[in-house]
Chain A
Amino acid sequence: MDFELSADQKMIVETAASFVKKELPLERMRRMREDATGWSRDVWKQMGELGWLGIMHPDTVGGFGGSFVDAALILERLGVNLVGEPFAASAVVGAMAVRTGSAEQAERWLAPMIAGETSLALAWAERGGRFDAHRVATRAEKVGGGYRLRGEKVWVLNGHAADQLVVSARTGGAEGDREGVSLFVVDGDAPGVTCATVKTMDGQRAARITLDCVVDADRRLGDEGQATAELERVLDHGAAAAIAEGYGAMRASLDMTVEYLKTREQFGVKIGVFQALQHRAVDMFVETELAKSAMLMSAIKVASPDPVDRMRAVSVAKAQLAMSARYVSQQSIQLHGGVGVTDEHDIGLYFKRLHVLGTLYGDEEFHLARFASLPTFERA
């Protein structure tokens, strides 16, 4: 039992904190809300140069051989300033999806992403599908030496900007079957890929993607029809990333609110002297500490080779994050009073982002249900 950071990890935290503070202040996030892409390729390139984009990937695929914990430390700092660069969508989720394929495939699509030259996206969710990885209606029919993909993917994070999309599509079975799901790599600008950029509440962008295209067989990742379990593992990495980012955003929201209680005056005193508000702030602090615990647990356990161990930890942590995020973000606004409901004040930005992160890769309800469906739940 040891939660101390190693010397390398302390360095990562220091670098990430100072880079985010200097290069990616909150005012920039406000400006990027108006940007068509929502993030900058220059900054992405810098993240590549800093070694961040390959930090959690093995050196056999061009990464730096770190762990997910290392990535979580960066994500936490990105969360503090609500940074829109697609670290989670591309360097975690997209990359993990590509890694379900062969070494050659990783070399082809992962190496340029790790260098910051390209970005990736995972197109998995469909209309009405909620959070089940195997709820896939998109079809992949064998044609000639490849596959014809037909279907629609929604809320594809970074789908509007990605050089490559990893798409889940059905090579067999019916819509809700676990069997028959395969993963394919599709270029973002391939003929027959139509992308509509959609805005998300937190000022970022996602895509609705319509597919009617043909891909070569060498773009299928892993065995045909066997991708569900791997896809779930990839999505759990997304959940763990959302938890780390969410914890960072939550801590920032708490800090901003406590600072407000120390400076705002009413009735001739700092409002932080009032016990009703103090106790609310303490409950926010309690929730934030619990979210931190959950973050550490999921960051460590997401790499567990035992799927039940992994799913249990991630579901506990994601459900806890959603509960904590809801409480902290709502009370942050409440304690700011009227100014907290204006777009000019930053606290509302955290409320929005925390809702998004609470929902992505499975919301509270989804993860509670999954937690309760695992064999570990029955062992009373």
Chain B
Amino acid sequence: MEMSFSPEQLAFRDEVRSWLASNIPPHIKAKAEMDAYFEHHEVMEWHKVLHAKGWVAPHWPKQFGGPGLDATCRFILTEELELAGTPFLSPFGLVMVGPLIMQFGTEAQKARYLPKIVSGDEVWCQGYSEPNSGSDLASLALRAEDDGQGNFILNGQKTWTTYAQHAAWIFLLARTDASAKKQAGISFILCPMDAPGVSVRPTLTTGGTPAFCDTFFENVVVPKENLVGPQNGGWTLAKALLGHERTLIAAVGASTRAIGRVKRIARATRVGDGALLDDPVFRAKIARLEVKLEALRMTNYRALAGAQGGHAPGPESSILKIRGSEINQQCFELAMEVMGHDSLEWFNEPGTVPAIEQWVPSSFNYTRATTIYGGSNEIQRNIIAKLILGLPSL
């Protein structure tokens, strides 16, 4: 029983920290200080910097261009990046489709797709949700019909295809057998975004950022070699992601940063004769949230120790998404509360509110997504009720 990092792991953490201290480009560092929204070109610029260092895909094995780190060092690297506030890299290639191609793809698919995910030469987006298929994902309607000449013909619409406007590829779940029962007729297909018949309509999030998109498919021809895994076996791939390591989903690093921001704003805010941070009522509020975050951090460590030991994610992993997303939202609620009138800010000229506060209102809005994406927290609860607590269904 040991809850500290080993000397080797601490040495690795120092290495990451000192590398970060001198390798974040100044304009990215300036935005990181504010936890500002990063434009796509900035995200990709940071992707290239990390790629040059060999750290862009912490979770990938060495043979596919990963750094070959163990579970704990992967976690340390990722958390240090989060704590530094550097751009959050697009997860669709690195975290989602890449590992799925490694697990289910052919050798040819691995050779074709994986190197360009790591290098950042090809950016991916995710085609899962549809306007009428959210939590009930298996009801999806986008059709992929076999044209008898070695192609699928795609027709339909995907939504929440985050950053589709920047993507070279989309991985999507499509219905390849309309007669089969829901999950049984779905396939996992890769489609180039420049294929004729693909069109993208970007939409703003409530955070005022251009992250979301609708993506339309009209008689899009995709060769059948773009199928990953067996035809009509796509649901297995969709579920496989759930079995992957979940120590990152808790967003402990991001919430740690957010609480730090709350404290810094509160220290600079006067109430009565002193700082808001010294107000006992307010201090207790921060303390309560930080206690919850620390208990989550410890739960994350439990999950991490399990992963390091080579175990499948245990019960402790299942709570990380639920509690991590709730705490992340609460951090921004508290930041808004500290800001008082400044929390009314909405994309005004710099200087309207202190720089430290400038991006909080946008994040406060956008973080409402955290309890929804990746399977809403209600769906997570359904899963835990059934698979862990063994409660009956109707």
Contacts and interface: CB of A to CB of B under 8 A. Distances in A.
In the complex, which of the residues A278, A294, A369 has the most CB atoms of chain B within 10 Å of its own CB atom? Answer: A278
B174 interface: no
Interface in A280-331: 281-283, 285-286, 289-294, 296-297, 299-301, 315-317, 319-320, 323
Contact of A380 (B260, B280, B390): B260
Nearest to B298: A293
A61 interface: no
A289 B322 CA distance: 12
B5 interface: yes
Interface in B355-394: 378, 381-382, 384-385, 388-394
Contacts of A258: 389-391
Nearest to B287: A372
Contacts, number: 142
Contacts of A316: 291, 294-295
A238 B322 CA distance: 31
A289 B3 contact: no
Contacts of A380: 259-261, 263-264, 267
Contact of B319 (A69, A279, A289): A289
A282 B298 contact: no
A289 B260 CA distance: 25
Nearest to A270: B392
Given A278-B381, A285-B389, A320-B292, 8 more contacts: A1-B305, A2-B309, A67-B1, A279-B381, A282-B385, A290-B292, A317-B295, A365-B284
Contacts of A300: 1-3
Given A285-B384, A297-B3, A262 B298 contact: no
6 contacts: A3-B302, A69-B1, A258-B390, A291-B295, A319-B288, A380-B263
B283 interface: yes
Interface of A: 1-6, 9, 67, 69, 258, 261-262, 269-270, 272-273, 275, 278-279, 281-283, 285-286, 289-294, 296-297, 299-301, 315-317, 319-320, 323, 365, 368-369, 371-372, 377-378, 380
Given A290-B296, A297-B298, A380-B263, A3 B322 contact: no
Q: Which 5 A-B pairs have the closest CB atoms?
A: A380-B263, A293-B298, A278-B385, A372-B287, A272-B391
B333 interface: no
A275 B315 CA distance: 20
Contacts of A371: 287, 290-291
A165 to B, nearest CB: 33
Contacts of A282: 322, 381, 384-385, 389
In the complex, which of the residues A2, A272, A299, A377 has the most CB atoms of chain B within 10 Å of its own CB atom? Answer: A2
B299 interface: yes
Contacts of B315: 285, 289
A247 B85 CA distance: 35
Contacts of B319: 285-286, 289-290
A139 to B, nearest CB: 32
Nearest to A9: B1
Interface in B243-300: 259-261, 263-264, 267, 280, 283-284, 286-288, 290-292, 294-296, 298-299
Nearest to B380: A282
B31 interface: no
Interface string B57-78: 0000000000000001000000
Contacts of A294: 295, 298
B191 interface: no
Contact of A290 (B1, B260, B283, B295): B295
A358 to B, nearest CB: 14
B327 to A, nearest CB: 11
A297 B295 CA distance: 9
B301 interface: yes
B4 interface: yes
Contacts of B283: 372
Nearest to A274: B394
A285 B318 CA distance: 10
